[in-house]
Copies of this chain bind each other. A is one copy, B any other.
């Protein structure tokens, strides 16, 4: 799971993810974090500069994962429908494989400092553009219905990004199946064909 680690810094990140997910970034104190790890609060500062550093690590680390998963798909020569399907599956796999980080990512990114916040928003726009270009391509080829492009992408993200709220590893289906189901639902609708 998300409990393996090599060094203290990674350990801090792991535990922080769990606590931030459970109680929220603001409601989690450095004393909570230190206590959960089993060290004194001041000792944290041998490994990190500030509380916000941890949040940055989590948010930008996961952003990187999302890009790494989506980029090769977008650069490929598959059809728009196949691209979209695979991009959805890849996105959902990143989420389900990093549930703690995802929860923090979607919930607490706004508590990043001014500069990080700006960077985060830029990355998010860039990432959304990846999906938007697939959708645009599909509309041009008349494979996707021609509705407001931004709106379609937002609905796709809506359906994908809520996953962390309910997905429970073990009790649910595995992440690839979940991803394919969401993709199916979005592409074909819930109506019988």
Binding site for B on A (CB under 8 A): 24, 26-27, 81, 107, 110-111, 135, 142-145, 147-148, 151-152, 154-163, 165-166, 173, 178, 181-182, 184-193
Residue in B144, B158, B192 whose beta carbon sits within 8 Å of that of A190 in the complex: B144
With A and B bound together, what is the CA distance between A143 and B24 in angstroms? 41
Contact B158 A163 (CB under 8 A): yes
Tell me whether A144 and B191 are in contact (CB under 8 A): yes
Task: Given the known inter-chain contacts A107-B107, A159-B158, please indicate yes or no for A81 contacting B187, CB distance below 8 A.
Answer: no
Given known A-B contacts A145-B191, A190-B144, A191-B144, A155 and B27 have beta carbons under 8 A apart: no
If A185-B155, A185-B186 touch, whether A143 touches B26 (CB-CB below 8 Å) is: no
**B181 and A187 contacting across the interface, CB-CB below 8 Å:** no
- How many Å from the CB of A144 to the closest CB on chain B? 5
Q: Is the CB of B192 within 8 A of A186?
A: no
User: Contacts of A181 on B, CB cut-off 8 Å?
Assistant: 147-148, 151, 155
A107 — nearest CB in chain B belongs to which residue? B107
A sample of 27 inter-chain contacts (CB < 8 A) reads A24-B111, A26-B27, A27-B111, A81-B191, A143-B191, A144-B192, A145-B192, A145-B193, A147-B184, A147-B185, A148-B181, A151-B178, A151-B181, A152-B190, A154-B162, A155-B181, A155-B182, A158-B158, A158-B162, A158-B163, A159-B159, A162-B162, A185-B186, A188-B189, A188-B191, A189-B190, A189-B191
